[in-house]
Structure 1
Amino acid sequence: MKDMAVRILVYAFLLLHNFAQHSSASNYCCSEPRCHCIIRTQHKVIANCSSLSLTLSPNFSSNVSAVNLSENYLSRIPAQRKLPENLEILDLSANNLDSFLTEDDDFLRMPNLVSLNLSSNNILPTMENYQEDVFQNFTKLRELNVSNNTNYFVEIWKNQVLDSVWSPLISLEKLSIDAIQNVTFGESITSLTKLTNLTLAGQCGKSRLKTIKMDYFKPFPYLRSLDLSSNVYFNAVKHYYEKEYSCTLERVDSGAISILHNLEILDVSYNRLLGLCGFRNISYDLPYTNIKVFKANFLHCESGISLTLYCDDLKPFINTSLRELQMDGNHIAFGQMGLLQYIPTTLERLSLRSNRWVVDQYTHVFLQFLSGIKYVDISDLNDHQMSRTSNIYEYCYNFLADVNCQTFRGKSLGTDQTPYRQGFCTMDRSISSGKYIDIVEPVRESETVLAKPAKPYCSVDFDLRNLYVLFKRLPPFIDTLVLNNSRLGNELTWTVFRNDTLESLILSHNQFYSMLGPICNATKLKHLDLSHNRCSRISTYVFEYQPNLETLYLNDNLLGNSNLFEEENINEIFANQTNLKNLNLTSNQLLWLPTNIFWNLGKLKHLRLDNNKLSDWNFTVGHMSELEIVNLSMNSILSISIGGMDFIDQCPSDTLIIDLSNNPLQCTCSNKEFIKWMTENSEKFWKVDSYCFNCQGLGACTDLVSAHQYLRKNCSSYFSLILASSCVSLAFICFLLMAILYRYRFKFRYWYYIKLRIDSTQAHILDTRQYRYDAFISYADEDRSFVTRQMVENLEKGKDIRLCIHHRDFMPGTSIIENITNAIHRSSKVVFIMTNSFLRSDWCLYEFDAAKAESIYSFSRKGDMMLFLMREKIIVRKIPKSIKDILDHDTYIECPDGGNDEPEFWATLAQAIRD
């Protein structure tokens, strides 16, 4: 502890000393081997040191491997002696440097440096700055960034050839430099065999590179990655000196890219003056490269015309091994039919965001050629940049160039440029590589198409050729489909996908006001996003056939305004999502949730219910052993009821965190138990110290501890004691009444059925006239054969004794209890067939109790009315005490096993019934 205190004091001293330094890069860093430190000056302190073990010295520690001096207004590079000897990473970006010279008018000599960042300074790419010995000792340097060093007003008129300066950089792999019109790289850079990554920054300026000549990349034969993209935010630069763009390439000569045989990644995005004509020049060079990723996004001005994508634009792709193609924001509205036949089978990711596709004009034929595509993004349909930028009415300077380009690109179609009459592109045998068929015809739909079923269902026997199918035209093996903000709607009805390969489906920010489903043939779906659709109508079976869903976004809809929660089978809406881990129901105007709506979500981890109108926790989570977060912030919760607290306490998860922030939590005596419970379980609540409780007398924002103390003091009274005593007394009285009712239950039943249910006059007649039956037979179902055969044969037929047998004589439509009571009441005697089955039958025991009550309480009964016939041996301890007491005092009749005793037995039984 003493050593730790000393270390903390030393650390505090160093921080104070660092604040006192205003002009030089601070001299403190970690003493541990190869410690990574971020060194700042002025008001910025040391950061990212992995230990409190700091060393105070006039120079940097020799063990420091990385130093960041960005944004420090440095006008010169620090002197060599002020930097660590073994420095590997040096960041001097965003300063005021205008040359490579250090403070002592020398060049850096750092043999171990592997990364040098000098971007966003003022070091112009001229021969005066890039002298031969600038990088003389940088033989281990792998990354060099000198981009963004020319501002808008700088103009380089004289041709600058930066030649021998590159020779020492034999380990250089990545170079970032400004693309300047009159600056070339010379021949010495050809010797850099490890240089595979080149970024020509699209810095806006008067000297910005406008045209890339055919031999421009000749000194870079080993390039694998080339970034020619322009500044994404170039529209923020306002200029008034010339009426042309200053941030974009205007042309890439045909053949300029084809000499890069090892090229795998090419990015030409945001060059607004290239257009699809410039795109075509580049695409025709790609078959001569090893291209894998091609990014050609936003190649038109924001307010440009809508364009058609022709077969000739993509025709060269068939002879490439392209894996990813991006053509976002190019104002593409139509695609020539047959276009997809030129997509190589190696393509896995296709992005066509922010275009202007016209409905039903997608190029959806020849999907067999897209067998490799796994990811498709057609989001932000018709949501072009003009609706986002501040330059809404910006004049499109290349409007005529766009028109001419469109005419040139479509010349093979003849004079008619109407998109709806584009024609069908034919094969060009000159580029044929056997990857596609010679004669191509459009895919024709079946003449017989089944309509949507009256009752939605999913079946493995669907014949998709003869079926109404939504999303029928998709790549055969696609696993991710992104249609965010694609103007889809307004109903997501019965939906069948062509192939069961989808794992991620994003349909957010559309116009699905109704989601009924079901969604068929998507059983592998793991991620489904239906957020931001303003949906107010949803069915309970919409997700019925997605058992593997792990993430479901339904946020920013209007489910609270639907009739969903009034349906009887509401608990079935998530019944099949047993693998669901993330469920988002944010911003749905929810007022309440059914108790068991999440009953089958045993693997749920994150549940978002924030920004709704919930007033309590009324759903069960007792089965969610993996639950981690429940977000209930920004609702209308004043307190959580006892039932809600019980639901939370029943959750088996040890990592559960609940967010109740931004709720109008009340601090009143009626919420005393809730406040107490929150205090005892404070570890379950996210940032509970920041919660505001409205306590009358303490203010509208009282913390939890203060609210608990306030209620303990001000809500203490005898009310709880009185209430508890009253409850105990009431419970005792109820218990006593229940005991009495149970003790005399048969007497009460007798009174009910005899005294109340039967008219008094009728009862008098029944009691005074001859009985309807001589005997009521009480027996178990297992003895039914003995009663209906032997007793009927020997007593009714042989002795003329009228028997009441419940299987035969009970009145249909009358309750069993009433039938039993009436039968006993109208019978002279009751004969009990005593067997083990009889003792196991509840109804037999009830018949005994009813007969006993009749014999005691009926004023017309004279003598004993109950006879016991023992058919088998019964263990004494199994006989109920009430029956045993009678058997101990009264004589019972034993049934013989057969033989000569039977006639005497039946005569004795008949005589006992008649007496």
Structure 2
Amino acid sequence: MMKLDLSENSVVGLPMCSFSDLISLKYLWLSKCQIISVASGLFANLKKLRTLDLAKNNLATLRNDTFSGLESLEFLNLQGNELRYQPWTFEPGAFHGLDSLTHLHLEGNQPDLPANFTYPDVALARVPTLQHLWLDGHPYALGRGFASLSQLSDINFVSGNGGFCNFNSDLPANFLSNLISKRPLNLRMVQCSISFIPSNFFDHVKNIFSLDLSFNRELSIDGFEKASKGLQNSTLTILNITEIVKPFSSVCNILNGKTFQYLKTTQLKELIVKSNFLVNVLPNAILDLPKTIEYVNLHRNNILKAFAFFTLASLPNLKIVDIAKQVYYEEDNRRLDFCDNRSKHIQNTFFMTTRGMDDDKPSVQENETFSFLAPYVLPLTANSRSSLNEKDPEPAEFCDGSAPSHYVWPVPPKLERLYASDIKLHYDIPQLFCSTKNVLNYLDLSANGIHCFGGPVHGLRSLQTLDLSRNQCYRINPSFFSTMPNLVTLLLSGNFLGEPLSSDTGGLVFSTLDRLQLLDLSNNVLKDLSEFTFQHNRHLRVLNLSFNAMSTFLPILTLNRKLQTLDLSNNTLLGFPESTCHQFLEFKKINSNFTVNISGNSDFVCNCDNLFFLNLILRQPEIFKGVALFRCQLDNGSFVRYDRLSQLLPELEFHCVAQSVFVGVLVTFFLVVGSLSVYGMFHYKRWQWKYLY
């Protein structure tokens, strides 16, 4: 036996011989068993045991040699017991013999701070192999025994999930002084009610790799700035300060020129400042970040002015930016004015070039009022435009017919992904030029109220995924995608592109997207599409046209030979012409996984025009999804479901043949009568025709 799970049993006591014969056991779970004590030597024969879970029992003390014999144990969980952090709880040799232990959970044992509180450092000193440690957090310095944990790489103080952490009193400056691990240190102090951290708190852990201070809502942005002084010249690489401010407070939360001033000399690569009710980011806040930064996350804030994002281009190694969901609501105008004045008081004057195309010297203008996107666009200079190697812009802006704007978007040279959904743009996309060559391959601008896709946006040749969904856009420039030749995924659902795509009879909108594989046009009020809409998308694999209002499907797909999924669900389809059905058959031969989703279409008709389609769905139902709920309407208004289709078709075929014969005979009759009439007239008037000619 290698695994034994006795969890949630009323074991209470464990006799000495309980596991003596299980010499091959590697995993033992004893959580929630109401165990009150573990005798020394109980596990002596479990030489191969790797995982021991004693969580959520009633253990109050750990005696010497409690775990003797567990020389292969790597994971020990003692979370949620009664092991108080007091001198008599952990005897010095409590963890003796755990020569391979790397993970130890001791959280959930000390909910408060008694007078004789002490971390179990003496007992822990016997486990020099320990790498990952979970503890309850209280404002009392870690003891000298921690100096023996030379392999420690993770120490976690986390409230919630079974742990207790309360640093509401002042943290002692020497709290971390005995952490002299040789490995990069990951320190988590999450949801610990931290209100103040001394400026020299982190002086003792220059080997720190990641620091997580999230959900300490009393700390504040200014409080972090003071605490970060000790991070100077450290190896800090990942910093998470999510939600370190009070929700809905009257304070104007701003990232200013001092917020990150002490991080310049770190090796910071990832910065997470989510959900901090930020209303502004000043330029120097970005300029103070070290050049090593690769990831910036400002997700879910209240940023109203963000001119500083123009300065992201100064970060040469930046790869990912997340500024999505700036969920601000209507604010009191006086408060906004106050925040704006505070921003101007704090910031050093920052200037923006606004010169014309032919000016020799730039003029400058102070950062005043900008929409959220404003920091990304600057007037295009003659030199920068020539360096883009792009075609001349169109004579006028597509969206409003004004003179061309010639704006530059300063994209960081190594930026790969930009998440900017739901940031309340309400801003048409004009013609833009990327200032430098870039590698941007993912751009999310969904749910921004962009009503016109004007463009084109020059310089996005590396872009592979573009999300413009849920913008309620009703205008699109036929050349909008013309500068994105490598686009693979295009998401356009939740717009109003039915009319512009219907009028695109030449199929120009998607004509340059030869490498496109996934196109989502669902929920766009589409009524019909041109035959040539997708003729240039030879690599298309997934085409989603669901939740529209199409009664027929006319696009020619003969060149889309890699198509695997065609989603036409929840439209108002009446049927498919025979030519389209032949395309479906050809696709099924090429790719056995090809399917057409027709579920949610309740307007199919059972008539002669649909005879080929009805035969196809009956004989090869594997082509279609939603067949079980298929139904079609007869001329008399009644409906025929799929399970009765086989009975209907012979009758319908006979009717259609008879109708064809009748029509053929009728046409032949009129042709013969017409021909005889013409001949008779000619014969009757033959002499008059002779006389005339």
TM-score band w.r.t. shorter chain: 0.7 to 0.9
Tell whether the 8 Å contact from 1:364 to 1:473 is kept in structure 2 after alignment. no
- CA deviation after TM superposition for structure 1 residue 165, in Å: 0.9
- Matched residue of 2:263: which SS? helix
Which amino acid in structure 2 is aligned with residue 270 of structure 1? F
- Matched residue of 1:302: which SS? coil
- Is 1:313 aligned to residue 259 of structure 2? yes
- CA deviation after TM superposition for structure 1 residue 672, in Å: 7.8
> Which residue of structure 1 aligns with residue 421 of structure 2?
484
Distance in 2 (alpha carbons) for counterparts of 1:563 and 1:695:
31
- Matched residue of 2:344: which SS? helix
Tell whether the 8 Å contact from 1:628 to 1:655 is kept in structure 2 after alignment. yes
Which of 292, 299, 302 is matched with 1:356 structurally?
302
Which of 556, 574, 583 is matched with 2:494 structurally?
556
Q: So what's the TM-score if we normalise by structure 1?
A: 0.60
Tell whether the 8 Å contact from 1:229 to 1:270 is kept in structure 2 after alignment. no
Tell whether the 8 Å contact from 1:323 to 1:348 is kept in structure 2 after alignment. yes
> Which residue of structure 1 aligns with residue 180 of structure 2?
221
Equivalent residue pairs, number: 626
> Which residue of structure 1 aligns with residue 71 of structure 2?
111
- Is 1:137 aligned to residue 97 of structure 2? yes
Q: Summarize the alignment of residues 430-449 of structure 1 with structure 2, pairs less than 5 Å apart.
A: 442=351, 444-448=353-357
Distance in 1 (alpha carbons) for counterparts of 2:152 and 2:19:
38
Distance in 1 (alpha carbons) for counterparts of 2:20 and 2:5:
12
Tell whether the 8 Å contact from 2:127 to 2:149 is kept in structure 1 after alignment. yes
- CA deviation after TM superposition for structure 1 residue 302, in Å: 0.6
- CA deviation after TM superposition for structure 1 residue 75, in Å: 4.6
Distance 1:448 1:307, change over 3 A: same
- Is 1:764 aligned to residue 691 of structure 2? yes
> Which residue of structure 2 aligns with residue 428 of structure 1?
none
- Is 1:627 aligned to residue 552 of structure 2? no
> Which residue of structure 1 aligns with residue 198 of structure 2?
253
> Which of the pair has the greater relative contact order for Cα pairs under 8 Å at 6+ separation?
2
- Matched residue of 2:280: which SS? strand
- CA deviation after TM superposition for structure 1 residue 643, in Å: 4.5
Distance 1:557 1:62, change over 3 A: farther
> Which residue of structure 2 aligns with residue 419 of structure 1?
343
Which of 321, 327, 349 is matched with 1:376 structurally?
321
- Matched residue of 2:258: which SS? helix
Distance in 2 (alpha carbons) for counterparts of 1:75 and 1:498:
67
Distance 1:262 1:717, change over 3 A: closer
Unaligned regions of 5+ residues in structure 2, if any?
10-17, 332-337, 360-378, 381-387, 394-402, 634-638
Q: Summarize the alignment of residues 706-717 of structure 1 with structure 2, pairs less than 5 Å apart.
A: 708-713=642-647, 715=648
- Is 1:568 aligned to residue 499 of structure 2? no
Distance in 2 (alpha carbons) for counterparts of 1:81 and 1:608:
60
Distance 1:227 1:616, change over 3 A: farther
Distance 1:447 1:38, change over 3 A: farther
- Is 1:692 aligned to residue 629 of structure 2? yes
Which of 632, 653, 663 is matched with 1:720 structurally?
653
Distance 1:333 1:207, change over 3 A: closer
Distance 1:665 1:63, change over 3 A: farther
- Is 1:494 aligned to residue 428 of structure 2? no
> Which residue of structure 1 aligns with residue 121 of structure 2?
163
Distance in 1 (alpha carbons) for counterparts of 2:469 and 2:128:
52
> Which residue of structure 2 aligns with residue 274 of structure 1?
219
Which amino acid in structure 2 is aligned with residue 678 of structure 1? I
Tell whether the 8 Å contact from 2:80 to 2:163 is kept in structure 1 after alignment. no
- Matched residue of 2:247: which SS? coil
Which amino acid in structure 2 is aligned with residue 418 of structure 1? R
> Which residue of structure 2 aligns with residue 523 of structure 1?
461
- Matched residue of 1:533: which SS? coil
Which of 478, 502, 509 is matched with 1:540 structurally?
478
- CA deviation after TM superposition for structure 1 residue 353, in Å: 2.3
Q: Which has the higher helix share?
A: 1
Deviations 1:157-188 (A, max 9, x none): 43224222112322211112221234x53212
Q: Summarize the alignment of residues 6-21 of structure 1 with structure 2, pairs less than 5 Å apart.
A: none
- CA deviation after TM superposition for structure 1 residue 38, in Å: 8.4
> Which residue of structure 2 aligns with residue 297 of structure 1?
242
- Matched residue of 2:529: which SS? coil
- CA deviation after TM superposition for structure 1 residue 149, in Å: 4.2
Distance in 1 (alpha carbons) for counterparts of 2:52 and 2:414:
47
Unaligned regions of 5+ residues in structure 1, if any?
1-28, 44-56, 232-246, 388-406, 411-415, 426-440, 453-457, 697-701, 767-915
Distance 1:667 1:566, change over 3 A: closer
- Matched residue of 1:363: which SS? helix
Tell whether the 8 Å contact from 1:365 to 1:443 is kept in structure 2 after alignment. no
Distance 1:339 1:201, change over 3 A: closer
- Is 1:579 aligned to residue 525 of structure 2? no
Distance in 1 (alpha carbons) for counterparts of 2:649 and 2:617:
19
Which amino acid in structure 2 is aligned with residue 720 of structure 1? E
Which amino acid in structure 1 is aligned with residue 418 of structure 2? L
Which amino acid in structure 2 is aligned with residue 147 of structure 1? E
- CA deviation after TM superposition for structure 1 residue 542, in Å: 1.5
Same amino acid, percent of matched pairs: 19
- CA deviation after TM superposition for structure 1 residue 138, in Å: 1.7
Which amino acid in structure 2 is aligned with residue 324 of structure 1? E
Tell whether the 8 Å contact from 2:520 to 2:544 is kept in structure 1 after alignment. yes
- Matched residue of 1:179: which SS? coil
Distance 1:63 1:529, change over 3 A: farther
- Matched residue of 1:226: which SS? strand
Tell whether the 8 Å contact from 1:615 to 1:635 is kept in structure 2 after alignment. yes
Distance in 1 (alpha carbons) for counterparts of 2:152 and 2:209:
14
- Is 1:344 aligned to residue 277 of structure 2? no
- Matched residue of 1:333: which SS? strand
Distance 1:140 1:708, change over 3 A: same
- CA deviation after TM superposition for structure 1 residue 63, in Å: 5.0
Q: Summarize the alignment of residues 722-801 of structure 1 with structure 2, pairs less than 5 Å apart.
A: 723-724=656-657, 727=660, 764=691, 766=693
Distance 1:681 1:78, change over 3 A: farther
Distance in 2 (alpha carbons) for counterparts of 1:206 and 1:197:
17
Which of 146, 158, 163 is matched with 1:201 structurally?
158
- CA deviation after TM superposition for structure 1 residue 736, in Å: 12
- Matched residue of 1:508: which SS? coil
- Is 1:588 aligned to residue 524 of structure 2? yes
Q: Summarize the alignment of residues 820-831 of structure 1 with structure 2, pairs less than 5 Å apart.
A: none
Tell whether the 8 Å contact from 1:622 to 1:648 is kept in structure 2 after alignment. no
Distance in 2 (alpha carbons) for counterparts of 1:586 and 1:61:
59
Tell whether the 8 Å contact from 2:421 to 2:448 is kept in structure 1 after alignment. yes
Q: Summarize the alignment of residues 14-53 of structure 1 with structure 2, pairs less than 5 Å apart.
A: 39=5
> Which residue of structure 2 aligns with residue 913 of structure 1?
none
Deviations 1:87-131 (A, max 9, x none): 3234455x44444769xx965752212123344555444444433
Distance 1:87 1:513, change over 3 A: same
Which of 144, 147, 161 is matched with 1:190 structurally?
147
Tell whether the 8 Å contact from 2:77 to 2:104 is kept in structure 1 after alignment. yes
Deviations 1:230-249 (A, max 9, x none): 24xxxxxxxxxxxxxxx421
Give the greater-gyration-radius structure (CA). Answer: 1
- Is 1:175 aligned to residue 105 of structure 2? no
- CA deviation after TM superposition for structure 1 residue 423, in Å: 4.7
Which amino acid in structure 1 is aligned with residue 475 of structure 2? R
> Which residue of structure 1 aligns with residue 15 of structure 2?
none
> Which residue of structure 2 aligns with residue 889 of structure 1?
none
Distance 1:368 1:497, change over 3 A: closer
Which amino acid in structure 2 is aligned with residue 681 of structure 1? Q
> Which residue of structure 2 aligns with residue 655 of structure 1?
593
Distance in 1 (alpha carbons) for counterparts of 2:605 and 2:655:
23
